[in-house]
């Protein structure tokens, strides 16, 4: 096989499928097939280090570059801002000004105003060489490595043109929701809206973080438009699309204010159904000849404006306030509201943030309040309508003891939140357990909230170490858990014992220690004892670890109950070492599975994806189809045609028990 030709074909095929999926929203193949090709490319590139990997290879989008900072970029052609308007009367006034200057029929092109971050991309001979933020319009920041992780941004255009493109990077609604859920679970503050989340993601010094944020982008302008044979905004969008750049298709040509206003109302009606946030409509004179005649003011073009949607605000009533305890002990007040519809959905609950916010706004029971959705997603209580306040109302009673364990709450000087500092608080322990078993932590599949709550109620666990003392008999006492489910859960718990140290550190829920910092600590200190015994000075010497992390680690491991917990985990044979070291990689590279082509079939424990991930750690190539090139088939229960084909071809077949023995041996 001509490996160079095969690699080129693989890359081109993957680029085609990615373009169809991320730019056209018209995938032509199943995700599993794309993943299979991607894995093949990744494996081949790793096997042939002598062959340089082109910068536009699909495998180069995963990040991995650690940036020192963001250098300034001077925009040769400034990124202008648009004048904002907020009602129909201002649109009429804009149209009159345009008509007065041009004195003939005007064609406007109306486009959605994407609520994201303006970016400028520079391509030389079709290759992406620079990406920058808008900044102040004249000077921005170089964010090239981060933008390369956005799958809808082509690393190579379909034509070898030299051009500067303007667009908007954004975070889709589902990606924003998932990100905030994860941040809240980790005790971090949620992003207020997708725009802030997108901006924060593009300014990460670790490009892997950006890659995991699932950003996207739309493009709408060419900086040096005179270099190309296009004569209107509509033609620019067609040219961008031809170059395989993602262009928003929700646009409308209009010839009067009434047509513009009709389009605005249509967009407002469909706004909630869009997969991304918009905050208005951009209205441009379509003809470039007419744009040139209209010119610019000092701040903005005279031929364009942005109509901004007003935030939808509704009235509702605070019926009660709940105080809940999070994983880190933070006490969060949540208002139970009289249900009301706002921005497309019915809202009955909204956070009141913390006691300082409650005091500043003076929220009380039965107050009529103004509610809106921040970024049209997160319900927020804006203010009290004092004229509607019932007579005799009194300020909210702020709890002084934990609503779960009755320990005294503290209001630390450097914090706005109340906090329960009792490490044995059942609420903290329960949410801590949920965090411990989560995907980025110990990744124990099947252990969800419902099962963890039962384990607590039945007093089968009180801390994370108790999970490893569970046996199948204990698990069978839980509701709706049968023999097979209990076996799967038990095996998933046991399998997590061999996780690398960073997963354990992150799973312990140490304040200020997210999965990135956990990995840094594990890699630096190699084992748990090294982390525990490290002095404040030794921790502070590590780049990117600030005072908050140092203080949090030292105070956490100084607690007697934490020391007892670590001892319990050690007694349960939980791995306490970092497995990404050179020594471990040497072991993995020389494992039984290294370089072998393996096929999984049937039902496996806890699931196929987990088994696949484990085998790939041992340098196996896991494929989806059995062929003469297959070295090994792992067959679970209910295996079908793949097992039959393996027998026909005389390929070695293992069951899960044999697999487990071999993995533990390695």
Q: Which residues are annotated as catalytic?
A: 113
Phi-psi category of residue 256: left, alpha or beta, with phi > 0 → left and psi -120 to 50 → alpha:
beta
Those residues with Cβ within 8 angstroms of residue 399's Cβ, 6 or more apart along the chain or in another chain: 323, 331, 409, 418
- Classify burial at 59, counting beta carbons within 10 Å of its beta carbon; exposed 0-12, middle 13-18, buried 19 or more: middle
- Map 32-76 to HEC letters: HHHHHHHHHHHHHHHHCCCCCCCCCCHHHHCCCCECCCCCEEECC
Q: Which of 608, 580, 570, 587 is nearest to 663 (CA)?
A: 587
Specify the DSSP class assigned to residue 415: -
What is the secondary structure of 477-516 as a DSSP string? TSTT--HHHHHHHHHHHHHGGG--HHHHHHHTT-TT--HH
Handedness of CA 360, 363, 367, 371 (dihedral sign): positive
Q: In which element (H, E) is residue 369 found?
A: strand 368-374
- Phi/psi for 365 (5° steps) reads -60, 140
DSSP annotation string for 591-627: STTTT-EEEEESB-SS-HHHHHHHHHHTT-EEESS--
Question: Is residue 352 helix, strand or coil?
Answer: coil
Pairing type for strands 621-623 and 252-254 reads unpaired
Q: What token pair was written down for 243?
A: 């170059």
What does the CA dihedral 514, 500, 464, 508 come to, rounded to 10 degrees? -20
**At CA 114, angle to CA 113 and CA 116, rounded to 5?**
135
**CA 449 to CA 468: how far, in whole Å?**
17
């Amino acid at each position: 096989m001509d490996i160079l030709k095969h690699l080129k074909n693989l890359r081109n095929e993957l680029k085609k499928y990615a373009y169809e999926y991320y730019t056209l929203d018209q995938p032509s193949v199943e995700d599993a097939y794309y993943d299979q090709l991607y894995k093949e490319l990744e494996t081949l590139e790793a096997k042939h280090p002598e062959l340089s990997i082109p910068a536009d290879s699909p495998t180069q989008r995963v990040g991995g570059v650690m940036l020192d900072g963001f250098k300034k970029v001077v925009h040769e052609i400034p990124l202008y801002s648009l004048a904002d308007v907020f009602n129909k009367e201002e649109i009429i006034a804009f149209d009159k000004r345009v008509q007065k200057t041009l004195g003939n029929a005007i064609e406007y092109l109306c486009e959605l105003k994407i609520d994201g971050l303006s970016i400028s991309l520079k391509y030389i001979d079709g290759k992406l060489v620079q990406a920058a933020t808008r900044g102040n319009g004249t000077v921005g920041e170089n964010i090239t490595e981060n933008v390369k992780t956005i799958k809808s941004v082509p690393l190579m255009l379909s034509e070898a043109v030299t051009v500067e493109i303007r667009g908007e990077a954004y975070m889709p609604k589902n990606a924003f929701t998932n990100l905030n859920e994860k941040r809240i679970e980790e005790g971090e503050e949620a992003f207020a809206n997708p725009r802030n989340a997108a901006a924060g993601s593009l300014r990460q010094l670790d490009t892997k973080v950006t890659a995991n944020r699932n950003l996207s982008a739309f493009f709408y302008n060419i900086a040096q438009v005179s270099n190309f044979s296009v004569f209107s905004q509509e033609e620019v969008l067609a040219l961008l699309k031809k170059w395989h750049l993602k262009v928003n298709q929700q646009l409308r040509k209009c010839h009067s204010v009434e047509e513009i206003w009709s389009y605005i109302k249509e967009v407002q009606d469909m706004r909630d159904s869009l997969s991304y946030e918009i905050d208005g409509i951009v209205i441009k004179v379509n003809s470039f000849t007419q744009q040139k005649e209209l010119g610019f003011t000092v701040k903005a073009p005279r031929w364009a404006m942005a109509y901004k949607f007003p935030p939808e605000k509704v009235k509702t009533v605070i019926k009660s306030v709940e105080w809940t305890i999070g994983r880190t002990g933070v006490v969060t007040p949540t208002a139970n509201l009289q249900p009301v519809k706002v921005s497309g959905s019915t809202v009955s609950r909204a956070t009141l943030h913390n006691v300082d916010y409650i005091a500043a706004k003076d929220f009380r029971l039965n107050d009529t309040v103004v509610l809106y959705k921040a970024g049209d997603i997160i319900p927020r209580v804006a203010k009290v309508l004092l004229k509607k306040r019932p007579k005799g109302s009194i300020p909210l009673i702020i709890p002084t003891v934990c609503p779960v364990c009755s320990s005294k709450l503290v209001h630390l000087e450097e914090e706005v939140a109340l906090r329960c500092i009792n490490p044995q608080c059942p609420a903290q322990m329960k949410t801590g357990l949920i965090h411990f078993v989560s995907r980025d932590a110990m990744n124990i599949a099947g252990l969800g909230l419902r099962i963890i709550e039962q384990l607590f109620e039945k007093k089968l666990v009180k801390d994370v170490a108790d999970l490893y003392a569970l046996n199948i008999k204990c698990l069978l006492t839980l509701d709706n858990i049968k023999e097979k489910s209990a076996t799967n859960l038990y095996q998933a718990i046991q399998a997590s014992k061999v996780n690398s140290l960073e997963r354990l550190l992150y799973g312990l829920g140490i304040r200020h220690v997210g999965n990135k910092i956990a990995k840094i600590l594990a890699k630096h200190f190699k084992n748990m004892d090294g982390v525990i015994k490290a002095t404040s000075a030794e921790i502070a010497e590590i780049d990117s670890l600030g005072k908050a992390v140092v203080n949090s680690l030292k105070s956490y491991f100084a607690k007697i109950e934490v020391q007892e917990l670590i001892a319990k985990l050690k007694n349960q044979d939980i791995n306490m070492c970092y497995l990404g070291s050179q020594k471990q990689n040497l072991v993995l590279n020389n494992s039984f599975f290294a370089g072998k082509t393996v096929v999984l079939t049937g039902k496996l424990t806890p699931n196929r994806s987990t088994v696949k991930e484990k085998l790939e750690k041992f340098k196996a190539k896991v494929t989806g189809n059995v062929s003469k090139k297959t070295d090994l088939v792992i067959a679970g229960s209910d295996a079908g045609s793949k097992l039959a084909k393996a027998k026909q071809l005389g390929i070695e077949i293992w069951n899960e028990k044999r697999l487990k023995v071999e993995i533990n041996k390695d």
